Structure 1
Amino acid sequence: MAKRPQLTGRAAILAVVVCAIAMSLAYPIREYIAQRRYIAHLQQQQAKELEAIKALDDRRKQLQDPGYIKRQARERLLYCDPGHTCYVVMGEKPAEGKGAAGEKKVVRPPWYQTLWESVEAADTGQGQKAAKPTG
């Protein structure tokens, strides 16, 4: 009895047809995936823009409030209401809410002193010295 060949003509034609179908579907599937990715990106961008619109709308509402406008004029522009006596202390910054009282600020040396110390350290071949507070 003769053995049948493993790859018949019909099987070869079927393999060619399957490969042709796979090749013809590869590009549209790739484009579909790329478009879905682009749509997701646009949806994220739209969400960010909607948040920005909401923030701007809140700011617009805030700026339409006469009380807020008066408060900003007093704080930022140092305006005073008619009939009131306002005082401004010159040369002092207003204390911030946290830790303004009782804390010492670290005094940093001027920039030129730090620069000169680094030049001296480089000249002697040592590492940079710790900055010494002046004052």
Structure 2
Amino acid sequence: MHWKDGEPSLDTVRDVVDALKQAGLTPGVVFDANVGYKVSDRYMRDTAPALHLGLPKNRVMVAPKGVPADPYVLQVAKDYDATIVTNDRFRDWAEDYADVMNAKDPVRGGYKNGKLWLSLDRKAAVGKQ
């Protein structure tokens, strides 16, 4: 959410979701419970972000209040053998989820010159020029 200008935005996540779809992937998104307060003025359940992102509700999760999203992200990656898209290093969870952390390199990303880039693999990256 913070990749573009450091400001939290669902539009940023939507850009990533759209790029992943264009790459033929099936994205799912896990948010911290405070997502609604970061982008709006209220708590949000799964439905509102799912609608904004153009994803089915069953592919968007807002972590319960008071619980960090990181273990959910890591558990979903483990359960679905999924690749994580993040710039987070998950240092607090590395020991508990070592198998996930060592299984696949996460996709990194950000914006350069106003354009989204994703390191979908080491040979080619979406949006990088």
TMscore range, shorter length: under 0.3
Question: Greater RCO between the two (CA within 8 Å, min separation 6)?
Answer: 2
Structure (1 or 2) with the larger CA radius of gyration: 1
Structure with a larger share of its residues in helix: 1
Structure with a larger share of its residues in strand: 2
- TM norm structure 2: 0.19
